[in-house]
Structure 1
Amino acid sequence: MEKYICIHGHFYQPPRMNPWLESLETQDSAYPYDNWNSRITAECYAPNAVARLLGTTGTIVDIVNNYSRISFNFGPTLLSWLKANNPWVHEALVLADQASQKRLGKGNALAQVYNHIIMPLATQRDKLTQIRWGIKDFENRFARKPEGMWLSETAVDTPTLTALADEGILFTILAPEQAEHVRPLGGDEWQDVTGGKVDPKSPYLVNLPNGKTITVFFYDGPTSRGIAFEKLLSNGDLLSSRLTKLFDPKGPQAQLAHIATDGESYGHHHQFGEMALAYSLKELDDDPEYRLTNYAAFLATHPPLHEVRIRENSSWSCAHGIGRWKEDCGCAIDPQKGWNQKWRKPLREALDYLKSRLDEFFEQKGGELFKDPWAARDDYVEVMGPKEPEAWSGFLKRHLAAEPEADTALQAAKLLESQRWGLFMFTSCGWFFDDLAGLEPVQNLRFAARAMELAGELGAGSWEEPFLRILEQGSSNEALFGTGRDIWEKRVVKRRVTPARVVAHAALSSLHQDHGLAGGIYAYDIESPYQEKWDQGNFKVSWGRAKVTHRPVGEEAQYCYAVLHAGELDFRARVAPCSDNHDLTALAREIKKPMGEEDAAGVENVFDRHLSGERFGLANLFLEGRRKLGRAALDRATEENLKQAKEMYRQSADVMIGLRQMDVPLPEIYLALAEAILTRDLIDQLKEPGERDLSDAMIRVAQQVLALELKLDSPVLKLALAKAVARCLTEYKPDKASEERLAWAGNLVILARTLEIPLNLWEAQNDFFKVLKDRGPTGLTPAMQRMGSLLDFELGVS
């Protein structure tokens, strides 16, 4: 029997960016990371690219790219974020696909419908755009055509499969419960396989109404569920043992044992799951009885021998079909709460209403602008988001009905961006969870607001009120958040971003910086042809002119601004539209008197006389800006207190240590003071690599920590120590200076262990492994060998 094994991971995060800023803002629920993409990258996507294989003694014997041995798909919006923020992970995926092509003749990577919409609930045009965008994005990243495509939540109907086949997709993956009847090719009698009774070890052919066909692989349900609920990832042996038991000795000659799960299982949902996966893959790869493969490779040599009828309007995550994304079907994340999901229906209906208006307007307005508006939308994936001038110019020449002009280019960008966000507002996660006020539904509503806003700027009708009349029929399960209308007004409308707010953010942020306003702020570019700054005592003031450009749309606007920091958290700004020749000399002249008197109200009166625009304060800055200015104000306010605290500790340190040696308990306030001061001292010592030995100052700090029996548990200190060690390896060169820094880094690791400070040395291990692969164990210097041992590598050298 030919025994093939395939493990598929569906890696995906919903697009969580602010649609006005084209960027993820800070998400406190992802702490200690800035946002959930960063957190899950650190816990899953990156570790799977450099998964540890451990030997019998628990030391690292190899670091492997799991993606080169599994079938995988990544959501295109997630891949875009990875390429911008963790390019090495993106590159690891591309290299893994290339490696699998060399090994199997077919790549491991599958495409995905673009932004994870539920395809059976989409219009035919939206189905096609999602597929075409997904294919084009895949081709641009992996430099080949995709053969397979992942459907969001494996939600499927015959029109979706037909659309896939029409676009050249050969296969997709479904849950076993999505099969209804099977029969041998050319046979007459259908066999009922409902309830997951389909044999998953072979591919199945679907004959489509238009005469085309597509292949479906039904993954092994019990084993896939075992990863989530039976702790199969607690040990690599468990996973490989379970997979090897799936073969049927009485079955066909060639069998495929395969599973499909959320890729986040391998590290995020199950800590160290990537290591269990790596171990299992190595076991299977080393066993000549089994062949690790991917779907495309298996299909190329083992075409379907059976035909299948799918269960229409079904998915892998809703027992009721696709009810989870349109009604209160009973599916919930936490049924114990007793919440209802009646809000799902009005959310779906409100967005369906808005989408129909957007599409009608797109067809009418797009018919004036484009040769074929729908063809232009399908091609828009090539230039989506911030526009590269050459690519955008080429796009306009291909699709505009007339020669491109500034006004038509702006209208085209706004119209296509409104369609982009109109598709994003159907991202499946908006219905998946339990409450209308949750992060995901609110995110979809923000996409809807942006789509509506852009269409409105082009002359579309006012759709907000009829939209809200539908939306308000749904309510949060928590009375605090109210109806859909309340959520819209409190959590969507207030997050809208205007160019004036961008200018206010830039101007207020620049008050305590040496540079002016020029530069990029999220999706905006700002130029400041004229700016003045003036300090007087505790007051800082600035005024000038600014031009702001929204890169994805290309729209420019001119503003004049004046901003004041009157100490502490008192930030004030005025921003008003103006022209290039707007005269601000009178403002400059009149502001001298109130500034000299540190009269905030008087300064604000001058602002009002010369700039009658919008008022902004600290609360109007974007979150990162608010926090940065807030922290700076806090640092200034506490600087003197910190000096006093340091002096207080210095004066009492000897007494505290003496009392501790006499076994006299110390008051908590003294221990907290010592911990804070010594932690800060250590962090200050880590800013630059030291010499071969640790500095006297660092040793003194360590001695005091040990003498006082402190546990330094600061996340900031742990990160600083780990980064300092990694920095010495990242910057390593075969010279004396690098060797000394490497010795210092090794001493840091020993120091951390002595002080019982647990370090995440993952980054340093990755850098060390690169050197090890390049030189081999016998080519390492003594300092590098020592570092390898400290980083828990099994080097095999004396």
Structure 2
Amino acid sequence: MVEQGIKFTVLASHQAARVRRIGDRNWKEVRNAGIDPTMAYTVNLPSKRQISIFFYDGPISHAVAFEDILKNGDVFAKRLTGAFSEKRNHSQLVNIATDGETYGHHHRFADMALAFALQDIEANNMAKITNYGEFLEKYPPTHEVEIIEKTSWSCVHGVDRWWSDDGCTTGAGSHPDWNQKWRTPLRNAFDFLRDTLEGKYEAAAGRLLKDPWDARNGYIDVILDRSPESVRRFFGKYAVKELTEAEKTTALKLLELQRHTMLMYTSCGWFFDELSRPEPVQVMQYAARVVQLAQDLFGEKIEEEFLKILEQAKSNIPEQGDGRRIYEHLVKPSMLNFKEVGAHYAVSSPFEKYGEQSDIYCYSVENEDRRTLDCGDTRLVTGRVKIKSKISGETALISYGVSQTGSHDIAAGVSVNMGEDEYRKMVDEVSQACSGADYSRVIRTLEQSLGGMPYSLRSLFHDEAREVLGDILESAISGVDTAYRQLYQHHYPPVRFLSELGGPIPKAFRSAAELIIDIELRRTINSDSIDAESLKNLLDTAAKWQIEIDTDGIAYDFKLSLEKMMVRLTAQSLDTAPLKNLLEAVSLARGLPFPVDLWKVQSLFWDMKSTKYPEIKQKAEQNDPQAKEWVEGFVALGNSLSIR
């Protein structure tokens, strides 16, 4: 760290062994978190260099992560400032270390508590908000510390947690019979990839880049900004010469190889208790990309050797088997190449209105040809696109053919870098066969030209698959909706009368009512202006007839609608109608029998209060009647949102 110019780092208190004032001979033992965390320390390294150390406040950090301290910003502020002590005769720093996702993900609205606490501390001069660098400059270390080697923040067993079965897990209470012996072979498999490819990378990159390892470190600038100008700057600084486009692609793929080699050591891959959890699977996906790039760059077939080591990692879940099985079932299906991207484009083309230029994740797609034919009850799409990786700049020409019968019966084939003449021949033969109503010849032509038609809706990337299937099912549901609506509307009066007499609601009618009320609730909530009266009536009817409604789904839709209304309000000037509608909707949300997440609405309101509101308030104070009415409504909205 010191060699890289890092001046200080942050450790946990239990990592300190002993301390002494600089210049003193006697040490004081501070094991078991006995060190004072309110000051900076220095560590004398074997290299004769030094690095400064801060120790975070363990009890407060634990309270933030695992207790209820973030439910109240005022309580949080007092807990932070309460860590200062008049008994100390040195300038004090109170610092905590927590995960970023604590504020909003693990604890809802914790980000608001943090913001309030910091503002409260600063506004009331309870303490000065600072950072480590400023504090270190003003108050350099007066004490030196020795740390306990091979320790870590988050585990009493130290760094063993990241490579061995140290007995420490996140789920020991739930699975006391599980072990983490899989950690060692997982790391061994990754070490095999790293060590096998290190020299090959250095040799290949050395022909293109001045210093392969310096370029690898500098590649972070490209990761953060993949614009053409950023890539040009990178090669201008690190390339041994003016590289051709092909050489640039090779260099970028080599750097991606190194990036994924580092990513496969991501900490959380070893932190949890089971090999088939998302975290170990994710680091295996990084390793799979290393394998894929090694094959592409060096023709290096190392996957089997890698898997032989990986299969020594045994899952605690019998059905998951070992690392090899997890890799083959959970990792390999997610690996992408140009053919897979082309298959996604082809299968989605009957549903998606692609333009001449489109983006699919980290690929850009340029349309070169597209033709649609109706062949009886079957729809045919043939086309040709140029796909380019935004990461490496590599390109491929994809020819495709798709057959769609009905709404969801899809068969597709793709070919990489098919010749122009061969593509034209395929298109002409398909057109002729289709015009002659010879559907079997159409399919034979596509299969022969494209090497089969193995792709279907299952070939879509997951997010798009859900969207397409949602559209297909929406069409089917609309027919059901019509039939149930007729039943509901026709029999509503007598069934309501029956309900008022205390009679049981017929099961068939209850099912129809459940569907229609749910649909009407969503339509009402998703409209531009929420009709509060209609919404109340629907909820009252559902309550009277004891109809279960999808409260989570309704609450989510309500949240989105309120956010849209708030965004529209920020774009308005002094129009009070949107303000009244939003106030009525928020008041209604507050009175629902289930919670609605108002966090984003509150945040947008706060931003508006800090920016737009003062100007309009000034107009109101100058007796502008429209501004007065708007301010009154805005204040009422703030009260409804519990913002003072």
What percent of counterpart residues are identical? 33
CA contact (8 A) 2:602 2:643 kept: no
Deviation at 1:721, TM superposition (A): 3.0
Q: Which amino acid aligns with 2:49?
A: K
Partner residue, 1:317:
154
- 593 and 781 in structure 1: CA distance in 2 versus 1, 3 angstrom threshold: farther
- 196 and 784 in structure 1: CA distance in 2 versus 1, 3 angstrom threshold: same
Determine whether 1:453 maps to 2:292.
yes
Query: Could you report, residue by residue, the CA deviation over 1:632-680 in whole angstroms, capped at 9, with x for unpaired residues?
Result: 2222333322211111111122223222333334245534432331332
CA contact (8 A) 2:576 2:633 kept: no
CA contact (8 A) 1:170 1:215 kept: yes
Deviation at 1:168, TM superposition (A): 2.7
Partner residue, 1:584:
424
CA contact (8 A) 1:694 1:747 kept: no
Equivalent residues in 2 for 1:149-298 (5 A)?
Answer: 163=1, 165-288=2-125, 290-298=127-135
2:136 is paired with a residue of what secondary structure?
A: helix
Query: Could you report, residue by residue, the CA deviation over 1:715-750 in whole angstroms, capped at 9, with x for unpaired residues?
Result: 443333333333333223786894223323333334
Q: Which amino acid aligns with 2:636?
A: S
Q: Which amino acid aligns with 1:775?
A: Y
CA contact (8 A) 2:347 2:455 kept: no
Partner residue, 1:740:
577
Deviation at 1:234, TM superposition (A): 4.2
Deviation at 1:556, TM superposition (A): 0.8
- 664 and 596 in structure 1: CA distance in 2 versus 1, 3 angstrom threshold: farther
Partner residue, 1:383:
222
Equivalent residues in 2 for 1:388-787 (5 A)?
Answer: 388-515=227-354, 518-536=357-375, 538-577=377-416, 578-585=418-425, 587-590=427-430, 603-612=442-451, 615-667=454-506, 670-685=509-524, 687-690=526-529, 694=531, 704=541, 708=545, 712-732=549-569, 738-752=575-589, 756=593, 758-773=595-610, 774-776=612-614, 779=620, 781-783=628-630, 785-787=632-634
Bigger radius of gyration: 2
- 602 and 396 in structure 1: CA distance in 2 versus 1, 3 angstrom threshold: same
TM-align CA RMSD: 3.0
Which sits farther off after the overlay, 454-463 or 481-490? 454-463
2:158 is paired with a residue of what secondary structure?
A: coil
- 644 and 168 in structure 1: CA distance in 2 versus 1, 3 angstrom threshold: same
Deviation at 1:586, TM superposition (A): 5.0
2:136 corresponds, among 275, 299, 303, to 299
- 408 and 619 in structure 1: CA distance in 2 versus 1, 3 angstrom threshold: same
Structure 2: any 5+ residue segments left out of the alignment?
A: 621-626
- 251 and 706 in structure 1: CA distance in 2 versus 1, 3 angstrom threshold: closer
Cα distance in 2 between the residues matched to 1:653 and 1:341: 61
CA contact (8 A) 1:559 1:579 kept: no
Query: Could you report, residue by residue, the CA deviation over 1:18-58 in whole angstroms, capped at 9, with x for unpaired residues?
Result: xxxxxxxxxxxxxxxxxxxxxxxxxxxxxxxxxxxxxxxxx
Deviation at 1:548, TM superposition (A): 1.1
Which sits farther off after the overlay, 377-386 or 356-365? 377-386
2:170 is paired with a residue of what secondary structure?
A: coil
Q: Which amino acid aligns with 1:311?
A: I
Deviation at 1:761, TM superposition (A): 2.6
Partner residue, 2:636:
789
Which sits farther off after the overlay, 729-738 or 742-751? 729-738
2:319 is paired with a residue of what secondary structure?
A: coil
Q: Which amino acid aligns with 1:342?
A: K
Deviation at 1:602, TM superposition (A): 5.3
2:454 is paired with a residue of what secondary structure?
A: strand
Query: Which is bigger in relative contact order (C-alpha 8 A, separation at least 6)?
Result: 1
CA contact (8 A) 1:445 1:492 kept: yes
- 630 and 602 in structure 1: CA distance in 2 versus 1, 3 angstrom threshold: farther
Query: Could you report, residue by residue, the CA deviation over 1:235-286 in whole angstroms, capped at 9, with x for unpaired residues?
Result: 4454444444434444323222332222333333333433443454455335
- 400 and 284 in structure 1: CA distance in 2 versus 1, 3 angstrom threshold: closer
Cα distance in 2 between the residues matched to 1:741 and 1:602: 60
CA contact (8 A) 2:160 2:166 kept: yes
2:150 is paired with a residue of what secondary structure?
A: coil
Cα distance in 2 between the residues matched to 1:215 and 1:185: 13
Cα distance in 2 between the residues matched to 1:357 and 1:275: 49
Which sits farther off after the overlay, 549-558 or 215-224? 215-224
CA contact (8 A) 2:19 2:143 kept: yes
Q: Which amino acid aligns with 2:420?
A: D
Partner residue, 1:369:
208
- 531 and 737 in structure 1: CA distance in 2 versus 1, 3 angstrom threshold: farther
CA contact (8 A) 1:176 1:197 kept: yes
Partner residue, 1:101:
none
Deviation at 1:298, TM superposition (A): 2.1
1:371 is paired with a residue of what secondary structure?
A: coil
CA contact (8 A) 1:174 1:216 kept: yes
CA contact (8 A) 1:178 1:311 kept: yes
- 783 and 312 in structure 1: CA distance in 2 versus 1, 3 angstrom threshold: same
Query: Could you report, residue by residue, the CA deviation over 1:513-552 in whole angstroms, capped at 9, with x for unpaired residues?
Result: 4445741111111122111112345422101212111110
CA contact (8 A) 1:516 1:531 kept: no
Deviation at 1:562, TM superposition (A): 0.4
CA contact (8 A) 1:340 1:477 kept: yes
2:108 is paired with a residue of what secondary structure?
A: coil
- 491 and 598 in structure 1: CA distance in 2 versus 1, 3 angstrom threshold: farther
Cα distance in 1 between the residues matched to 2:373 and 2:586: 48
CA contact (8 A) 1:788 1:795 kept: no
* Aligned residue-pair number: 630
Deviation at 1:287, TM superposition (A): 4.7
Which sits farther off after the overlay, 396-405 or 352-361? 396-405
- 433 and 538 in structure 1: CA distance in 2 versus 1, 3 angstrom threshold: farther
- 737 and 720 in structure 1: CA distance in 2 versus 1, 3 angstrom threshold: farther
CA contact (8 A) 1:724 1:745 kept: no
Cα distance in 1 between the residues matched to 2:449 and 2:282: 38
Deviation at 1:166, TM superposition (A): 2.7
Deviation at 1:393, TM superposition (A): 2.1
CA contact (8 A) 1:661 1:707 kept: no
1:582 is paired with a residue of what secondary structure?
A: helix
Structure 1: any 5+ residue segments left out of the alignment?
A: 1-162
